[in-house]
């Protein structure tokens, strides 16, 4: 494995968390000498501002991802157009991977960005709980998308489900009460 790739893989989470750390440090700087009672209260102090800043970071990151994906999609379109929309196996794999990435970005847009924009515009809404559930269910959507788009994973999951259903059916037919 290339060492630059490995260093980038290790450094990327740190670099992604750096803006959040900087924002939290700046907001906590004013209260550094105040005596505070140590309680776990996530609603008071700078937490709403930090949540708004985190929302904007997520919104901007997703918009950047959409712009990057559009460049990839345009490149794939021109590759297909050049070959008159008859793709070989390698090009089909590229198209499948690009489709997966596009669906994941759409999932991010629907489950994260749209609720974040709405909560930024109207923070005291009764829909906040529903948006929280949307954000929490984004991971389930990602898992389903990856399973649907990856042929080998889909086959293995179907084999596993068939095996479980077969075992359940056998258990139900073996026991006959008297």
Separation CA 56–CA 44 (nearest Å): 20
Residue 3 lies in a domain: yes
Percent of the chain with pLDDT over 70: 80
Domain of 126, in residue numbers: 45-147
For residue 38, how many other CB atoms are within 10 A of its CB? 5
For residues 133 and 94, membership in a common domain is answered with: yes
For residues 65 and 5, membership in a common domain is answered with: no
For residue 138, how many other CB atoms are within 10 A of its CB? 16
Residue 147 has pLDDT above 60, yes or no: yes
For residues 134 and 63, membership in a common domain is answered with: yes
Q: For residue 140, which of 96, 92, 107 has the smallest C-alpha distance?
A: 107
Separation CA 128–CA 130 (nearest Å): 5
Residue 56 has pLDDT above 80, yes or no: yes
Mean pLDDT of 44-63: 75
For residues 62 and 110, membership in a common domain is answered with: yes
For residue 160, how many other CB atoms are within 10 A of its CB? 10
Over the stretch 68-80, which tens digit does the pLDDT of each residue have?
A: 888 878 877 787 7
User: In terms of pTM, does the model score above 0.85?
Assistant: no
Quote the tokens at residue 9.
């893989």
Over the stretch 151-168, which tens digit does the pLDDT of each residue have?
A: 777 788 788 888 888 776
Q: State the total domains in the chain.
A: 2
Over the stretch 10-34, which tens digit does the pLDDT of each residue have?
A: 787 788 778 878 877 887 777 777 7
For residues 69 and 138, membership in a common domain is answered with: yes
For residues 73 and 134, membership in a common domain is answered with: yes
Residue 7 lies in a domain: yes
What's the first-to-final CA gap in the chain, in angstroms? 64
Mean pLDDT of 47-55: 75
For residues 21 and 102, membership in a common domain is answered with: no
Mean pLDDT of 73-89: 74
For residues 25 and 49, membership in a common domain is answered with: no
Mean pLDDT of 127-149: 80
């Amino acid at each position: 494995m290339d060492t630059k790739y490995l260093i980038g893989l290790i450094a990327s989470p740190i670099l992604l968390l750096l803006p959040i750390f900087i924002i939290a440090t700046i907001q906590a700087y004013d209260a550094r000498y105040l005596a505070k009672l140590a309680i776990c209260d996530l609603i008071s102090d700078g937490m709403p501002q930090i949540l708004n800043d985190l929302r904007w970071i997520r919104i901007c990151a997703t918009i950047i991802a959409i712009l990057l994906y559009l460049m990839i999609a345009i490149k794939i379109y021109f590759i297909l157009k050049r070959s008159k929309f008859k793709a070989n196996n390698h090009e089909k794999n590229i198209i499948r991977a690009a489709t997966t990435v596009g669906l994941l970005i759409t999932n991010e847009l629907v489950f994260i960005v749209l609720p974040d924009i709405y909560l930024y515009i109207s923070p005291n809404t009764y829909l906040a709980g529903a948006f929280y559930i949307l954000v929490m269910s984004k991971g389930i959507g990602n898992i389903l998308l990856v399973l649907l788009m990856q042929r080998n994973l889909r086959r293995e999951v179907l084999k596993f489900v068939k095996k479980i259903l077969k075992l359940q059916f056998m258990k139900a037919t073996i026991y006959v009460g008297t």
